[in-house]
Amino acid sequence: MAARLTLHEVTLRFGGVKVLQDVGFTVEPGQIFGLVGPNGAGKTSLFNCISGHYHPNSGSITIDETEVLGNAPSRLARHGLARTFQHPALQLHATVLENVLLGAHTHLPGGPVSWSLRLPYTGRAEKDRREEARALLERNGLGWAADLPADELSHGLHKGIELCRALLMRPRLLLLDEPAAGLSHGEVEQFSDSIKRLREEEDITIVIVEHHMGLIAALTDRVVVLDHGRVLMEGTAAQAQSDPRVIEAYIGKEATDDAA
């Protein structure tokens, strides 16, 4: 079941600097939600708070009705959260399939002793996860590369590998951090198609941090715009693109004055 994500007055400080201040919004189950804003707005810092890599100084983050603020990433995975990163962290000399299988750890039965003894059910579980990983690669156009070393593939395909790895975690809430960064036009279109297919086939909530406003407009139900660590506005992508406050935040007062 897709998760509901709710943030309330999330504040993050590094020393005396407020990186995020009183950030709050709700992502309804099944939505594709965009988190946008100019460079330095606090988008990735907020993602790091949601995914457990940063611990906010105050506020609340809940998945469904469960408070998860301050939880470690491994614990958040058990709540159904998975995340990709702007720069995919792959084992480049491992195969594409082996990289995807790293996402299986949250759904493997038993513990370290069971796996060290190679009990029968661990072998069956491993076989099932391998088949699931291959199927994910096929659905995302990467089946042909399953047994190739990851370092033989392009940056754009690395992002596809990371997406498959996240999906192997069977998330109810998926965070995508700048998935279009560094992709060609064709690769952006392929990624967009993958996310649209996810919406049709899976019961999942998706939150995207992205600068590519065309992609945000094509995919999202709603967006939140951050500026200097605060929520500037919330609405549809079309509303954000036409909001004078958002335009000013992106291009700056000086650029606006020059254009005039």
Q: Where are the domains of the chain?
A: 1-80+171-260, 92-168
Q: What is the 3-state secondary structure (H, E, C) of the chain?
A: CCCCEEEEEEEEEECCEEEEEEEEEEECCCCEEEEECCCCCCHHHHHHHHCCCCCCCEEEEEECCEECCCCCHHHHHHCCEEECCCCCCCCCCCEHHHHHHHHHHHHCCCCHHHHHHCCHHHHHHHHHHHHHHHHHHHHCCCHHHCCCEHHHCCHHHHHHHHHHHHHHCCCCEEEEECCCCCCCHHHHHHHHHHHHHHHHHCCCEEEEECCCHHHHHHHCCEEEEEECCEEEEEECHHHHHHCHHHHHHHHHHHHHHHHC
Q: In a structure prediction context, what are the per-residue pLDDT tens digits for the chain, which is 260 residues long?
A: 899 999 999 999 998 899 999 999 999 999 999 999 988 899 999 999 999 999 999 999 999 989 999 899 888 988 999 999 888 888 888 999 999 988 876 655 454 434 344 555 566 767 888 899 999 999 888 999 999 999 999 888 899 999 999 999 999 999 999 988 888 888 888 888 888 888 888 899 999 998 888 889 999 999 999 999 999 999 999 999 999 999 898 876 444 444 33
| CATH fold of 1-80+171-260 | Rossmann fold (3.40.50)
Global pTM reads 0.87
